[in-house]
Chains A and B, each alone.
Chain A
Amino acid sequence: MPSIADILAAHKEKEGPLLPILHDVQKAFGHVSEDAMREIASALNLTRAEVYGVVSFYHDFRKEAEARPVLKLCRAEACKARGVEALVPIADNQSRVKVEAIYCLGLCAVGPSAMVGDQVYARLDNTKFKTLLEAM
């Protein structure tokens, strides 16, 4: 696993490197910790408040790691039109998988759709959605 210092070094030559750095830290550690923010701020000559402000602004960055597997379920208009809201009770009736709302995966004619990691799933119905959750 790379260290924060490795990640900082990898982005040394970039203009405006903060988001690429945070993405790599999030990917490597599952979250961006207080310590990581301190180290990043010091390396980029930013205040901790500035780094914290960026981390808290974007939905992709977590300040604490999520222990459970995460499924992102599209709840935007096109998936609503195709019945995603009927799947929500299935998500609510279990706690093993963290089901988060996401707004659009660009699969808008074949929804309801979901993403796990970089894998995408479409045409979900009750059965498919349950199977997907159970397989995680």
Chain B
Amino acid sequence: MTASHIARLLAATALTGLTAVSALAEEVDYGTFDGYTLRVKLIGGAQYEPLYTRIAEWEEMTGATVDVLSRKNHFELDREIKQDIAAGTLDWCVGSNHTSFAPQYGAIYIDLNGVVGEGTLAAFQARALENATVDGRLVQLPRHSDISNLYYIKSLYEDADNQSRFKEEYGYDLSPPETWDQVKDQAMFFADAPRFYGTQFVGKDEAITGRFYELLVANGGQLFDDDWNPVFNSDAGVEAVNFFRDLYEAEAVPAGALNYLWDDTGLGFASGTVALNLDWAGWASFFNDPENSKVAGDIGLVRAPKGSAGVRTGWSGSHSFSITETCDNTEAAASFVTFLTNHDSQMIEASAGLLPTRSTVWDDAKAQFAEDGNDFLVQVFDTYAQSMAEDAFTPPLITPWIEVSNEIWPRLQAAILGEMTPQEALDEAADAARLVMEDAGYL
């Protein structure tokens, strides 16, 4: 029975033809759960869906049926899970999760150490597992990771006229930026509002908190000290706020940026009206697809630049799966999440440009891109591999992270709009964050 499963898995691998070199060091028995119905809640949306075509395969292999109770975006799902906790209706087994959300949910998800096979866990990148751990418990199995790097319009940098004018104005050669100060210079140089913008940033919700946070770290600051006192109202913090504020005041970013989320910045860059764009790996294929994007074929990519402390920005997180404490068949649930994060599953996600959490998939996906002649995605994976390995850091994995974030971002907006000075805004946010941390029992 078990041998045939592996054989079937290998056959499936050969059939999908995604990879020729599928070194299965780990032996996985996906088990048999005839007649069992596994209830799951998954994150929905175009880039997450292709993986779910694999569910049918798992059903066939194990004899179980998967009942997808909901398929929503993460914010909707978050609300739903909180309602389930409140109403005591955690009558499902597997839920999609994310680094930023996981700490809120406390003990509703089980520790996967000892539930998912050790061989399986060993195949994941150590960093990815570390980020999936809350209070020493591995509450998530990471499916793919996220980190941002800097996309730019290549032809702008190759233009001789731009090069000479830039050198004259700023005193150094025009080349893709190494530091955030250079980003600021170049963004202001390229900007010609309202036709064209130097760069852009997401302007609300956890999105801008995250961007602020990574720049804070890159400038040598911290959100909290070792005792969880908020300390982001430091010089490094003010410097970070000023970065956004200066760009905004110089109209180097779109005037509506403060209302932007990820879709707006992504679509903005694809519309060809923005020179530099710090963005996630998931956008790479979209940007380079002539059907969707006006800058296809003209995109450069460099690692995220350095802040004033010489540290690169690297706000990172992973999408993941978790298993509930109330699950009636942990074994089936473990088999399911293992299957959806196995080598072949991750190859499907990687082929769309999502960043794998298994070391071998990085290489195999890259080999696949090279074979397909997709040099751009090869470059994307090279760049992102490096930043994942060297620059990545997560937000503090604390229960009230979203709540702290909700205290920070409206004040960042106020500072960027000039309603407060950066120092005032950060002081106020730090006081409010302190209250939240006190309420949550950290202080």
Q: Do A and B bind each other?
A: no
A contacts, CB < 8 Å to B: none
Q: Which residues of B contact A (CB under 8 A)?
A: none
